[in-house]
Amino acid sequence: MIKITIDHQTLRAREGQTVLEAAKENHIRIPHLCYHPALKPSGSCKLCGVEVTSPAGKQVVMLSCILKVKENLEVRTDSELVQAHRRKSFDKLLRMAPDAARIRDLAQEWGVSVAPPPDGCIRCRLCIRVCNEIVKAKALKMVTDETGSRVMPEPGRCMGCGTCANLCPTRLIRVRDQDSVRTVSIRDEIIGQLPLERCEGCGNLYATEIFLKHIRASMAEHPDSKDQRRICPSCIKLLSGKAQAARKNK
C-alpha cells in the first residue's frame, strides 16, 4: 500500500491507482464529469484538478483522474489554485453547453459562480423603448441583480398591442390569442393578459379593449379624427379598397 495525503488526511492507496480513485474510495469528493470506472481516463472535462507539488518544487494543478498515486504524495482539493482552475473549467464547459443543467448544478454545488444561462434576449431594449416612447404604456423595464440584467414586465401596464413582440429581433416576446384572451409573454413571465374585442365588420377577435381606448384617446384631438368604429386592419383595408374603386367608377 502507498501512503498519500489528501487535504491533510493520511490515506492508504493501492499501487497503480489514480488520485481520483483513491479519493473516491475514502469518500473524499472531487468534481468530475468525464470519468467512468469502466473506461480509461481522458481528462477531457478538466474539473477534477487538484494541487500537488511538481518535481521542480512548484505548486501546480494536475488532473486527479490521470495522476497516479505515489509514496508521500500531498494533494489539496480546494486550494485557491484549484478553485481558479475549476472556475475556468466550468466556464469552458458552459461555453460549449450553455443550457446544460447538470453542469450548472455541479458548479453551484461546488460554489462556482457562472454566467446565467442564455434566455434568447440580447438586451437591445427595443421592446422597452417602443413601449415607453411610442405606445407609452411603460409595461417593460430592465432589472439588474447579481445574476445580470434582464427585461421584466411592469405589472398591470400592458395594453396587449403586441408591438414589443413585433420588434423583438430574437422573437423571445410572444403574443398568443386563445379563448378570447390575448397573452403577451417574455420567457415564462406574463407581460399582460387581456380580453379581446371583435371586429364589427368580420366578427374576428383582433385587439384588446384597453388598447382600443388608448387609440381613441390618442386620436381625440387630431383634426382629421372621426368617430372610431371597432374595425380590424383587414376590414379597414377592404373598405378602403372599395372606396377607392367607387371613386374611380364615378
Between 185 and 231, residue with greater pLDDT = 185
- pLDDT at residue 114 is higher than 80: yes
Choices 3.40.1260.10, 2.40.50.140, 3.10.20.740, 3.40.1190.10: CATH for 2-109: 3.10.20.740
List the end-to-end C-alpha distance of the chain, in Å, as a whole number. 108
2-6/73-75 β-pairing: parallel
- pLDDT at residue 221 is higher than 80: no
CB 20 within 8 A of CB 65: yes
The pLDDT of 104-122, averaged and rounded, is 91
DSSP string spanning 131-194? Answer: IIIII----EEEEEETTEEEEEE-TT------HHHHH-TT--EEEEEETTEEEEEETTEEEEEE
- pLDDT at residue 236 is higher than 90: no
Nine-digit cell string for 33? 464529469
pLDDT at 180: 93
Least confident of 69-83, 163-177, 215-229: 215-229
Distance CA 244, CA 236 (A): 12
Instruction: Report residue 224's pLDDT band, with 50, 70 and 90 as the boundaries.
Output: low
- pLDDT at residue 243 is higher than 80: no
pLDDT at 45: 97
- pLDDT at residue 108 is higher than 90: yes
pLDDT tens column, 119-158: 899 999 999 999 999 999 999 999 998 778 999 999 999 9
Q: State the Rg of the chain over Cα.
A: 31
Residue boundaries of the structural domains of the chain: 2-109, 126-249
Mean per-residue pLDDT of the chain = 90
CB 140 within 8 A of CB 128: yes
Q: Partners of 141 in the beta sheet?
A: 152
Q: Partners of 83 in the beta sheet?
A: none
**Overall residue count recorded for the chain in this entry:** 250
Helical pair 80-96 and 101-109, crossing angle rounded to 10 deg: 170
The pLDDT of 156-165, averaged and rounded, is 96
Instruction: Report residue 220's pLDDT band, with 50, 70 and 90 as the boundaries.
Output: low
Say what the pTM is.
Answer: 0.65
